[in-house]
Amino acid sequence: MLGAPLAWVAPMKRSAELVTDMMTLARLHAALDSVVDTEQLIAQIHESSAISPPTVARVGALVAEARELLRWLLAPPHSRAAVGNQSTRRESDG
């Protein structure tokens, strides 16, 4: 009977962890949305600006890399290996 008053601690801890996980997931989704918006803006700049194309292309590549990393973080754990293998292949090809 001594443990009975503390029985609620484990579910509360799991609930707090779940809330934290959901907040992290929401932040990752917001970051991905922001990166996609930035990627579109960089593409527009590239098409209409006098800035040297290699500089804009490099920034675009960095933003695309950030997008892929965020997508990897948001992928279910069982499919992360496939996503990781694709990005590794792309880096070795480039």
Residue 28: which residues within 8 A CB-CB, separation 6 or more? Answer: 70, 73, 74
Who wins on pLDDT, 59 or 81? 59
Any idea which residue has 């292309």 for tokens? Answer: 57
Residue 92 above 80 pLDDT?
no
- Does residue 16 sit within a domain? no
- Does residue 46 sit within a domain? yes
Q: How many CB atoms lie within 10 A of CB 42?
A: 20
Please report the pLDDT score of residue 94 as a whole number: 40
Please report the pLDDT score of residue 67 as a whole number: 92
- Structure token pair of residue 18: 């779940």
- Does residue 38 sit within a domain? yes
- Does residue 8 sit within a domain? no
Q: Is this structure's pTM higher than 0.85? A: no
84 vs 62: CA distance, rounded Å: 17
75 vs 4: CA distance, rounded Å: 39
Q: In total, how many domains does the chain have? A: 1
